[in-house]
């Protein structure tokens, strides 16, 4: 899906992008289970943002101590 940037709030059009995903039901169930345990019970979008951020942060930390090669 291509987002029409004219319809988005002007100050956000260059900051955020809409991302649509097709995922298995089991994946959604796992995200929902994580949401139920998360502080504040985030909505699915926020839960996915947090999980991706955690994964990227963990990957970055793991690569810092590894030698190249």
Res 49: pLDDT: 93
For residue range 9-37, list pLDDT tens digits in order. 666 667 778 889 999 999 999 999 999 99
42, 50 Cβ separation under 8 angstroms? yes
Nearest to 49 by CA among 8, 17, 4: 17
Containing 31, the helix (H) or strand (E) segment is helix 25-37
Whether pLDDT at 4 is above 60: no
pLDDT for the residue numbered 50: 94
User: What is the C-alpha separation between 32 and 38, in angstroms, rounded?
Assistant: 10
- Reply yes or no on whether the pLDDT at 61 is more than 70: yes
What is the chain's Cα-based Rg?
16
- Return the structure tokens found at 60: 């970055």
């Amino acid at each position: 899906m291509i987002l029409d940037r004219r319809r988005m709030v002007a100050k956000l059009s260059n900051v955020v992008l809409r991302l649509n995903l097709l995922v298995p039901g089991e994946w959604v169930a796992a995200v929902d289970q994580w949401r139920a345990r998360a502080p504040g019970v985030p909505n699915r979008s926020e839960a996915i943002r947090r999980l991706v951020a955690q994964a990227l942060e963990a990957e970055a930390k793991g690569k810092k101590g590894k030698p190249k090669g």
